Amino acid sequence: MTTITNVELRRVDLPFVTPFRTSFGVQHVRQAIVVRVLGDDVEGWGEVVCGVDPLYSSEYVDGAWDVLARYLAPAVLGRPLRDVDVAAATAAIQGHRMAKAGLEMAVLDARLRATGTSMKDHLGGTRDVVPVGVSVGIADDHAQLLERIDQRLEEGYGRVKLKIEPGWDVDMVAAVRAHVGDDVALQVDANTAYRRSDLDHLVALDEFGLVLVEQPLPAHDLLGHADLARRMTTPICLDESITSAAVTRDALDLAAASIVNIKPGRVGGLLESRRIHDLCRARDVPVWCGGMLETGIGRAANLALASLPGFTLPGDISSSARYFHQDITPPFVAHDGMMAVPTGAGLGVEVDRSALEAATARTEQVSR
């Protein structure tokens, strides 16, 4: 098989259908770095999922671009596509997991396209259809939120994630639960917005039969999460804290979480994601696939990952139309809260070249 001859970086700007508000800010546009890896006769695609600004984590688009162009892409150029280990080849570069994950995704896609293997099969996926849910951002008021939730329920989603922050939590969740009844699976996500002094307040969320509370405290605060987990009956799920399989093991040993959110970008790639899945499965800890408002490229990868047997809770993987008017792949569609896993070679999606061109704001070729 061929060696890697060229890494193409593209920034695509896709405006959101509805701005997405979390405890750390409002996003109006998805800026994704699309990574295209080329060998002599093969190409592969990846997506870097960091935000425009370093608010969800320390990574951000211009920083990821810089590290990809100057350090990560050069580390894989000239390497054999068949067996280059992107994580190992870039291990000397500290951090930048989302940038590394995007490059690894493109390399794996190219390799698997060349051998005709799907990402699902490569990772060990066991299902062709996976349960998916929807994440609903912070709204202007309860009325607007309930209207948005009704729309999602009409679209067939059976699990709704609500974003919370101080001042938009217990009363809001009470209103939603009263509105939707007991049959809708509800969970909440704070994106680190609370502090240890808020634990008594958070315990009040136990009233509402939530599936889980996601990342209430800062990423580093495993002991704080363990303290909260002892006080609450609702399971604690970690997102921002989980940056590797090693950290996952520590978090579970400390009982800081009983459910784990896996995002390939946050942990440095699909292969590390699978290690976390395997570790959690061996301990009977449920995992689910998080979302970073991906384009169709990252969504395809998430679906392949979510087809592994330990992903027993619905992923944050919604229909493309909920995010973008025009995606850069054919749209993904959820039916009755389920979504099909691509079966074609590699990621199993074809990039829509004209949509890609139309959305491209910046390009750079990295070659030897």
List residues near ligand SMG by CB under 6 A.
22, 51, 56, 135, 189, 191, 239, 290-293, 316, 318
Please, which residue, 21 or 127, has the CB nearer to ligand SMG? 21
Please, which residue, 65 or 157, has the CB nearer to ligand SMG? 157
Please, which residue, 8 or 165, has the CB nearer to ligand SMG? 165
Is 165 a binder of Mg ion (CB under 5 A)?
no
Strands 25-38 and 6-22, sheet pairing? antiparallel
Enumerate residues 6+ apart whose C-beta is below 8 A from 181: none
- Note if 100 is an active site residue: no
- Note if 163 is an active site residue: yes
Question: What is the x/- site pattern for Mg ion, positions 196-215, by CB under 5 A?
Answer: ------------------x-
* Placement of tokens 């599936």 in the chain: 211
Instruction: Name the minimum Å distance from CB 302 to ligand SMG.
Output: 8
Q: Which residue is nearest to ligand SMG (CB)?
A: 291
Is 189 a binder of Mg ion (CB under 5 A)?
yes
Find which of Mg ion, ligand SMG, none residue 318 binds, CB within 5 to 8 Å per kind: ligand SMG
Name residues contacting Mg ion, limited to 236-265 (CB under 5 A): 239
Catalytic residue among 100, 120, 161, 163: 163
* Tokens at 191, concatenated: 């994106």
Report whether 266 contacts 246 (CB < 8 A). no
Instruction: Name the minimum Å distance from CB 93 to ligand SMG.
Output: 23
Interface with Mg ion (CB under 5 A), residue total: 3
Strand partners, 160: 134, 186
User: Could you give the CA distance from residue 14 to residue 86 in angstroms, rounded to a whole number?
Assistant: 28
User: Could you give the CA distance from residue 109 to residue 221 in angstroms, rounded to a whole number?
Assistant: 35
Please, which residue, 124 or 158, has the CB nearer to ligand SMG? 158
Helix ranges restricted to H, the chain: 61-67, 73-76, 86-89, 97-115, 119-123, 142-154, 170-180, 199-203, 222-231, 245-253, 264-267, 270-282, 296-306, 353-359
Instruction: Name the minimum Å distance from CB 189 to ligand SMG.
Output: 5
Instruction: Name the minimum Å distance from CB 94 to Mg ion.
Output: 23
User: Could you give the CA distance from residue 272 to residue 270 in angstroms, rounded to a whole number?
Assistant: 6
Cα-flanking dihedrals φ and ψ of residue 364, to 5°? -150, 135
Please, which residue, 8 or 189, has the CB nearer to ligand SMG? 189
Largest Cα separation within the chain, whole Å, is 60
Catalytic residue among 100, 120, 161, 263: 263
Instruction: Give the residue numbers marked as catalytic.
Output: 163, 263
Q: What is the binding site for Mg ion (CB under 5 A)?
A: 189, 214, 239
